[in-house]
A and B are shown apart, each in its own frame.
Chain A
């Protein structure tokens, strides 16, 4: 720029820089569109700021760590591992909260955090209120995990499994299995668990709908196709067999009893009534009484209202 005066050179240089910076703004916006996690992470950090105080690292600490959050998360994870082996289960919570705040893509940490609350701390609790609190906490954590990693089928699977196996909210579990099975990379067993959830509550429409859906998934997986066909044939026969209904009711309500979850009453089952106290099936009828010897409701009517009306003169 030797031929230009100093003022002209500086002015043109400033214009050039302004032009480049203006042209870069749309490119930067497109980066944020392609990597929404950058802004979402910053936004959620502001929203959760109040709840994070006293639980995990504060936003200031996260900010100070700048680009090395992931390494800090790894160090906290190692500490959590050490605490786990030391048996201090309750001390793991702030560490795991720190790990997932610092590295929200660390799926294993989310899984362990949710599982630890919904299973270990739930089992360790002394009262039903505490048990329920930790179960709900675990579910809440896994829901957060799914929101933070919306493309991860494993996060949705973990949530669905907790609904299915731990809290026995089977319609919700079915929805979550369905959502997980639609995400890229989902294993074939996820779509099979979609109909398993309906099986356990004997929802005929749900089972058939989920079986039809499962058949459309993984068409080249011969093992999956074989299992879905086998289960479709099974349900064509089993739906009309009272013994199969009974078997499923006993299995589901025994599992619920072991988890301290109230029994499922199967209101629309064509063959069986279910005792609201112990969850065991009794042949359908207006005057059905519980036949479970170990139930406090033994020989008492399953439908008290109906029984009272029919007993009155």
Chain B
């Protein structure tokens, strides 16, 4: 795309967003003072529910075991060991993060509807959009705690190995801890986007469908650059389909900094900030759509 077209898109997009916010201010401004406490209360309940689930504790225990087992590559050179531990650790955080996101988010709204507890909540002065946002915020807090625990264990393993492993000529165990933590934070951001999508799907479909759709979205989202390149080299209906896929599915690749952390390559901070901006924008869109869908849903 040409730079002029990109600028026009930016201006038109921002103009549309500002216009809608200004036009609807009377509808949403009075609700803020009342809405935020409601969202926070629902989030707290969601966190309390998640804490009662044994599966989350089991997953965390499993991840810690996997991270501790990373110390078993002692036959490799220090540099190779550092790469293996960082790669394996960050992959474990991502894989189990995705599983946790699916387990936490896919059951949030369907369970409330199936158990009919949603009636008790919606009978109170709580808007449906506040209910959706509260549930999402609760899921985010649970995931943040889980990712934080896993990251702390990984950093602990790296620091311990750094002390235990002796450097060899031309090969040293010298992990860039800041890059590892940044990669874990970006991994959490990708989980936040995925969780928003899971919440959206769960407002209109069953739990099983939500889980399947979440896995497909994660796979497609991780391959967005491939889709972009495929769209460049195709034409007609195929190109249109690929472009729709490219613009609708979140760019989870943007958040993938594991390559850089494991290979000791410098991380571009502007690209990380850009990824976070895209993630926040995309999540906002998904949550607006989820709120509209859930408001229209007959429960």
Contact = CB atoms under 8 A, between A and B. Distances in A.
Contact of A2 (B17, B27, B256, B281): B27
A70 B225 contact: no
A13 interface: yes
Contacts of B21: 16
A20 B284 contact: yes
B7 interface: yes
B96 to A, nearest CB: 13
Given A70-B258, A105-B265, A28 B251 contact: yes
A29 B9 CA distance: 12
Interface in A7-43: 9-10, 12-13, 15-32, 34-35, 38-39, 41-43
Given A16-B16, A27-B278, A34-B274, A71 B88 contact: yes
A107 to B, nearest CB: 7
Interface in B248-299: 251-254, 256, 258-260, 262-263, 265, 268, 270-271, 274-275, 277-278, 281-282, 284-285, 288-289, 292, 295-296
Given A26-B9, A29-B1, A67 B222 contact: yes
B229 interface: yes
B23 A12 contact: yes
Given A16-B20, A19-B20, A20-B284, A70 B91 contact: yes
B162 interface: no
B20 A12 contact: yes
Interface stretch (B38-46, B53-61, B78-86, B131-139): B78-86
A77 B258 CA distance: 17
B206 interface: no
A13 B27 CA distance: 13
B17 A67 contact: no
A48 B259 CA distance: 21
B229 A105 contact: no
B15 interface: yes
B299 to A, nearest CB: 16
B87 A67 contact: no
A92 to B, nearest CB: 15
Contact of B9 (A25, A34, A107): A25
Contacts of B79: 108
Contacts of A35: 268, 271
Contacts of B281: 20-21, 23-24, 27
A87 interface: no
A19 B278 contact: no
A2 B91 contact: no
A46 B233 contact: yes
Given A31-B278, A38-B225, A63-B223, A70 B284 contact: no
Main SS at interface, chain A: helix
A17 B285 contact: yes
A4 B270 contact: no
A42 B275 CA distance: 19
B126 interface: no
B87 A27 contact: no
Give the most central of A30, A67, A77, A107: most B CB within 10 Å: A67
A81 interface: yes
B229 A67 contact: no
A220 interface: no
Interface in B73-103: 76, 79-80, 83-84, 87-88, 91, 94-95
A116 to B, nearest CB: 16
Contact of B6 (A10, A29, A41): A29
B30 to A, nearest CB: 9
B24 interface: yes
A106 B17 contact: no
Nearest to A67: B222
Contact of A4 (B24, B219, B285, B289): B24
A33 to B, nearest CB: 8
A71 B258 CA distance: 10
Interface in B179-226: 218-219, 222-223, 225-226
A66 interface: yes
Contact of B259 (A2, A4, A29, A105): A105
12 contacts: A16-B20, A18-B13, A23-B281, A25-B1, A26-B6, A28-B254, A34-B274, A38-B253, A63-B226, A70-B259, A105-B260, A107-B263
Interface of B: 1, 6-7, 9-10, 12-17, 19-21, 23-24, 26-28, 31, 76, 79-80, 83-84, 87-88, 91, 94-95, 127, 129, 218-219, 222-223, 225-226, 228-230, 233, 247, 251-254, 256, 258-260, 262-263, 265, 268, 270-271, 274-275, 277-278, 281-282, 284-285, 288-289, 292, 295-296
Interface of A: 1-4, 6, 9-10, 12-13, 15-32, 34-35, 38-39, 41-43, 45-46, 63, 66-68, 70-71, 73-74, 77-78, 81, 103, 105-108, 151
